[in-house]
Amino acid sequence: MYSFLTTGTWPDYELLDAGNFEKLERFGRYVLARPEPQAIWDQHLPPSEWERAHATFRREKGSQERGQWQLKPGMPEQWVINYDQGDLHLRFRLGLSAFKHVGLFPEQDPNWRFIFEQTKQRKAAQPRVLNLFAYTGAATLAARAAGADVTHLDSVKQVNFWARDNMEASQLDGVRWLVEDAMKYVRREVKRGSKYQGLILDPPAYGRGPNGEKWQLEDELNELLKLCKELLDPQDHFFLINLYSLGFSALILDNLVADIFPAIRGTREIGEIYLHDQGQRKLPLGTFCRFSS
């Protein structure tokens, strides 16, 4: 089933506007303006609203990634926001990075709720969940809040420290933290015969492991999914993968998952994730596939 997922009502987050290759967002009490390559249409709000942003990201000359934040007086470099959806209550520490990110991808809200609910539905008393390319841990914490035994893996040590801060802010504990190369770890887990009731994957288009291991999405994804099939409990499971690579069609995920997980052909949900602004324009922010037993 092809689906479109978007963020629900969330008092501490709002996409105010998007256009002219930028987006204007509110995180708690602070409004941020930063680049957004897919917002190719005109801005909806007048320039005066954009000028009210507490922090604006400007790219360095000649760089597509790095840049600097221009801060207004009183704008902190770190702050905390709340996330409350039903029975799921989390807190996230945000920060202004040199790569325009703030440590959270709000469009993932529907997937955090999926993880929380699916974890609670597992038959195992304490479902084992593996979160690969786990970043600052929102998905990890959604699973842990539902009672999972969670392994959180990311190749960047500082990111794992950030995720641990989010865990403590959310008054949770017990997560297993790994600074590892995802492919190497999954291969070892397959050899050990490990099984998980939940698998969460959020792979980047490209990246490096802790020892310089090269990751290129189109080169590695097919093998990674085959290994994940070996790790997934065949009787009691949920599976979620997100892709942010521009131009990487959801149909590619559809083909891969249909070939590698043929038993779930009729139950998988696949499609796009987006945020809608005050003008109800839809800002696409990636593709996803998810299914459960």
**Mean pLDDT, residues 77-90:** 96
For residue 195, give every residue at least 6 positions away whose Cβ sits within 8 Å of its Cβ, in sequence order, or none. 128, 231, 232, 233
Q: Which of the four pLDDT bands, split at 50, 70 and 90, describes residue 111?
A: very high
Q: Which of the four pLDDT bands, split at 50, 70 and 90, describes residue 13?
A: very high
* Residue 90 scores a pLDDT above 90: yes
- Is 57 among the domain residues? no
- Is 69 among the domain residues? no
Q: Which residues make beta-bridge pairs with 94?
A: 79
- Is 125 among the domain residues? yes
For the chain, the domain total comes to 1
**Mean pLDDT, residues 135-143:** 98
Q: Which of the four pLDDT bands, split at 50, 70 and 90, describes residue 244?
A: confident
**Mean pLDDT, residues 103-112:** 97
- Is 266 among the domain residues? yes
Question: What pLDDT shows up at residue 97?
Answer: 92
- Amino acid type, 64: Q
Q: What is the pLDDT of residues 197-222, one digit of tens each?
A: 999 999 988 788 888 888 889 899 99
Higher pLDDT, 122 or 61: 122
- Is 145 among the domain residues? yes
Task: Give the CATH number of the domain where residue 228 resides.
Answer: 3.40.50.150
Question: What pLDDT shows up at residue 210?
Answer: 84
- Is 238 among the domain residues? yes
**Mean pLDDT, residues 59-88:** 91
Q: Where would I find the beta strands (DSSP E) of the chain?
A: 2-6, 13-19, 22-27, 30-35, 55-59, 67-71, 78-85, 88-95, 128-132, 149-154, 176-179, 198-201, 206-208, 214-216, 238-243, 269-276, 282-292
- Is 28 among the domain residues? no
Question: What pLDDT shows up at residue 230?
Answer: 97
Whole-number Å distance between alpha carbons of 155 and 10? 30
CA-angle at 275, arms to 274 and 276, nearest 5°:
125
**Mean pLDDT, residues 190-194:** 98
Question: What pLDDT shows up at residue 265?
Answer: 58
Question: What pLDDT shows up at residue 68?
Answer: 94
Q: Which two tokens stand for residue 269?
A: 């949900």
Q: Which of the four pLDDT bands, split at 50, 70 and 90, describes residue 131?
A: very high
User: What are residue 234's phi and psi, to 5 degrees?
Assistant: -65, -20
**Mean pLDDT, residues 169-191:** 97
- Is 241 among the domain residues? yes
How many other C-beta atoms are found inside a 10 Å radius of the C-beta of residue 86? 9
Higher pLDDT, 176 or 263: 176
Which residue segment(s) compose the domain that 220 sits in?
A: 105-292
Whole-number Å distance between alpha carbons of 238 and 229? 11
